[in-house]
Amino acid sequence: MSSAANPRRRVAITGMGVVCPLGNSPSAMWEALVAGRSGVDRLSSMPPLEGLVHYGGEASDFTGVIGDFGELSKDVKKSIRKALKVMCRETMMAVAVAQKAVADAGFNGQPLDPERSGVVFGSDYMLSPPDDFTDGMVKCGARENEFQYSHWGQDGLREMNPLWMLKYLPNMPASHIAIMNDLRGPNNSLTLREIAGMMAIREAAQTIERGHADCMIAGATGTRIHSFKTMHAVQTEQLADPTLDPAQASRPFDANRTGMVVGEGSGALVLEELEAARQRGATIYGEIVGTGSSAVTNAEIDDQRKSALVNAASHAMAEARIPADQLGHVNAHGLATTERDAEEAQALGEVLGSVSATVPVVAAKSYFGNLGAGSSVVELVGSLLALQSGSLFKTLNFETSDPSAPLAITTQNDVPAGNSFLKLSVTPQAQAAALVVSRVD
């Protein structure tokens, strides 16, 4: 608990790493954002779902080879190569962005203090692809259309990789990252769908604020492009019209939006106590000055996403002590579904009040769709890069204003980014998270 005698410590962002449909680095991502180049294309990693899903935001530059993990010491490179056999794609992306963030923060030649450094990492629920079960199912008669359930325990399981389960545990990203970097401090794993990354950053920042660590790696990894997860999205989400041109399909806040686009990706930040970061001469991308979270349902257990967003954003803004009229911009959740974009716009109207129609709003999902748990961190990196540049990137495919979402959506690249931003994220179950980040002079 902070007090006058023990003030809350300040938290700086000193390292960034991304793997997303726009590339495997912040610089590649920024180049695509400035160029207005979409990362959404026809699916290549899985067959299209006929008449339902034909395109998505695939992180196609990430193949899982050791070169995709960035600058690595000899020992870390050896450790990653050894562990790849027990990593699914989402965990591989998580380890890659964490190592990229560590290198970006300048810790490759100057290792993190093991006892004062830790990890908080978020993920989606992780599922096996059907291929993991194919050999066992064939062994039990599936090829002859006479699957023998009674044979699975004796014959089918023998065909499974004995380390199969280790690939899909949601705590594996944080575990691998901690082991490979010898981080013995606080460690946690969060599975909170789209807000997992924001909540990981919030927990990591609070861990540093209260003095339980001096440095934390925080981020999330996720996907909506997966044999089962894509089908789940079809069953539970409003997806974009499959007949649209892929690059034009994700249309956050546009009056003619038709739904979200599935995607995959991961992002990570290195967070440090501000004075320690300054003393070692680190590049400081921003300071986390406010955070908030909320989950709201009514008596009938109906999800109240607008209320959750209002609660989370109001708390973050109050903690940051930045008046709405001095906020540089908003990095919206911007899912591009009819209902949720309207709810988010209403929430911003309530939080920002009279300036809600003038504070610039960017929606990065217009470039790559919903990356699941990885989305919010990748999107936040976009705003950190905008703070460095001084200008925002435009929101792709925004052509027609929607009366139900009266916001100042960016339509060009020369809109000032300001000195601070509010980042929002929300799940279908009305769990919301918000962060306010400010420039540090």
Alpha carbon 348 to chain centroid distance? 21
What backbone torsions phi and psi does residue 197 show, to the nearest 5 degrees?
-65, -45
Clarify whether residues 151 and 35 are in a common domain.
Answer: no
Model pLDDT for residues 41-95, shown as the tens digit of each residue: 999 999 999 999 999 999 999 999 999 999 898 999 999 999 999 999 999 999 9
Whether 20 shows a pLDDT value over 80: the answer reads yes
> How much of the chain exceeds pLDDT 90, in percent?
83
Joined tokens for residue 137: 């199912």
Is 30 a member of any domain? Answer: yes
pLDDT digit string, tens, across residues 47-56: 999 999 999 9
Same domain, 327 and 415: yes
The DSSP 8-state label assigned to residue 177 in this structure reads: H
Q: How far is the C-alpha of 64 from the C-alpha of 267, rounded, in Å?
A: 15
**Could you tell me the two tokens for 145?**
């259309």
Asked whether residue 103 falls in the same domain as residue 144, the answer is no
Residues 6+ apart with CB under 8 A from 435: 198, 201, 202, 288, 290, 291, 316, 380, 422, 423
167, 188, 216 — which closes off a domain? Answer: 167
- The reply to whether 5 falls in a domain is no
Quickly count: other Cβ atoms within 10 Å of residue 173's Cβ.
Answer: 32
pTM of the model: 0.95
Q: Are residues 396 and 310 in the same domain?
A: yes
pLDDT at 3 over 50: no
As for how many domains the chain has, the answer is 2
pLDDT at 342 (0 to 100): 97
In a domain, 348, yes or no: yes
Residues 146 and 215 in one domain: no
Amino acid at residue number 61: D
Q: What's phi and psi for 49, nearest 5 deg?
A: -90, 105
pLDDT digit string (tens) for 351-381?
999 999 999 999 999 999 999 999 999 999 9
| Same domain? 302 vs 429 | yes
Q: Which domain holds residue 141?
A: 131-167
Q: Which of 439, 1, 20, 37 is nearest to 220 (CA)?
A: 20
Q: Which residue has the tokens 């956050």?
A: 252
Q: For 335-344, how does the pLDDT look when each residue is reduced to its tens digit (9 = 90+)?
A: 999 999 999 9
CATH at residue 278:
3.40.47.10
Average pLDDT value for residue range 236-252: 97
Are residues 309 and 381 both part of a single domain?
yes
- Residues 64-102 as b or e (16 or more Cβ within 10 Å = b): eeeebbbebeeebbebbeebeebbbbbbbbbbbbbbbbb
